[in-house]
């Protein structure tokens, strides 16, 4: 099951990384809901109860919005149903961080938001999964295969020296085509969300659950389940378009997809309080030595501390509010992320 993710892009980068085309063929960047960009904090090690960037239809907040308009929101991981009556959501007696696709219609917690069209897409660099290896567990980082531009280190969208292009992009209006994103391709996972209001009144809390399916053939050796991945803009569009695409049709998108890459990582990630590039760096599972920070990992951390049009937020060490037991795997690293990390050592292109 999906119980840990990473999302290291700054708010403005998340917006650029999930640009979409309208029905008229116009490319747009989704805006953040008011205040939500400040509530989201990049992290190499996100666990349930922390906040993640979520993409959804603007019509959930504005019924007059165009049917194809998307918006970004920062939501808490672990769906809290509106009928939950305790004052403290942490008192929920059961986990809702994941929702099995085959059981959605059997549980009111998930059936209600599905019927209401409350479908969303959870964004992440990738997710972690643990494979049982005898008496131990080996963690893996799992993600979309990356383009050659990323693997070759063409990361001007996140470099500190490409300020002019970043400023130009941040000022892009809805009518202008945003600059093409050449950074990390975000993983897009299908989810459901709901809104809970404290019984005695107060600020509403938006929460989500990641939908899971049977693992694809290439991941079965790691774990028997995986997030329901939406592969490509069209699948994302259909999942979010609750006004046109019925729930029964949307559910057909939730299938095991043999499209993900993965590599083993250090057990350093097992503790949800650990939040640094070491969490997702490739390691040799046969070596007992813990990896040392590299120049490229230091470069990635510096990106999070860099000032640009919208300053990157330093990872919050309190993101892992809750330590979890984790699962692990065994397999040869694909090397895509490793190449990307090595590419970060190259001098960024300037304009």
List residues with catalytic annotation: 2, 129
Identify whether the C-beta of residue 233 lies closer than 8 Å to the C-beta of residue 20.
yes
The CA distance from 312 to 332, in Å, is: 33
The CA distance from 73 to 78, in Å, is: 15
DSSP result, 125-192? SEEEEEEEETTEEEEEEEEPPPPHHHHTT--TTT-SS-HHHHHHHHT--TTSPPPPP-SPPPEEEEEE
Q: Tokens 């308009």: give the residue.
A: 69
Angle at 258 between CA 253 and CA 263, to 5 degrees: 130
Token duo for residue 258: 């043999």
E-strand spans in 237-344?
Answer: 261-264
Instruction: List Cβ neighbours of 238 (8 Å cut-off, separation of 6 or more).
Output: 245, 249, 250, 253
Instruction: List Cβ neighbours of 325 (8 Å cut-off, separation of 6 or more).
Output: none
DSSP result, 206-265? EEEEEEEEEPPGGGTTT-SEEE-B--SHHHHHHHH-TTTS-HHHHGGG----S--EEEEB
Q: What residues pair up with 74 in beta bridges, in sequence order? A: 53
Token duo for residue 119: 């479908």
3-state secondary structure of 8: coil
Spacing of C-alpha 254 from chain mean position: 17
């Amino acid at each position: 099951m999906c119980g840990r993710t990473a999302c290291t892009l700054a708010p403005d980068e998340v917006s650029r990384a999930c640009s979409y085309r309208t029905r008229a063929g116009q490319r747009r960047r989704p805006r953040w809901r008011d205040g939500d960009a400040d509530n989201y904090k990049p992290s190499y090690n996100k666990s349930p109860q922390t906040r993640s960037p979520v993409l959804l239809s603007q019509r959930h907040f504005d019924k007059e919005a165009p049917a194809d308009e998307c918006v970004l929101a920062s939501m808490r991981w672990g769906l809290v149903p509106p009928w939950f009556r305790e004052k403290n959501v942490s008192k929920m007696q059961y986990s809702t961080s994941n929702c099995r696709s085959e059981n959605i219609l059997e549980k009111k917690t998930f059936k209600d938001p599905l019927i209401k069209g409350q479908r969303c897409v959870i964004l992440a660099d990738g997710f972690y999964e643990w494979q049982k290896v005898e008496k131990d567990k080996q963690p893996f980082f799992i993600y979309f295969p990356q383009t050659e531009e990323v693997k070759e280190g063409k990361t001007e969208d996140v470099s500190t020296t490409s300020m002019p292009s970043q400023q130009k992009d941040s000022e892009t209006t809805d009518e202008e085509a945003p600059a093409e994103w050449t950074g990390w391709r975000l993983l897009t996972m299908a989810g459901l969300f709901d809104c809970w209001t404290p019984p005695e009144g107060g600020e509403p809390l938006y929460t989500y659950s990641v939908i899971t399916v049977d693992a694809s053939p290439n991941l079965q050796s790691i774990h028997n389940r995986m997030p329901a991945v939406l592969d490509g803009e069209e699948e994302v569009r259909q999942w979010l378009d609750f006004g046109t695409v019925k729930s029964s049709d949307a559910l057909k998108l939730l299938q095991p997809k043999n499209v993900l890459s993965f590599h083993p990582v250090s057990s350093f990630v097992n503790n949800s309080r650990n939040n640094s590039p070491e969490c997702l760096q490739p390691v040799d599972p046969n070596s007992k030595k813990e990896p040392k920070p590299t120049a490229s990992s230091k470069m990635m951390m510096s990106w999070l501390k860099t000032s640009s049009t919208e300053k990157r937020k330093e990872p919050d060490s309190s993101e892992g509010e809750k330590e979890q037991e984790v699962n692990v795997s065994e397999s040869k690293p694909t090397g895509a992320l490793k190449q990307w990390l090595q590419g970060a050592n190259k001098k960024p292109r300037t304009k």
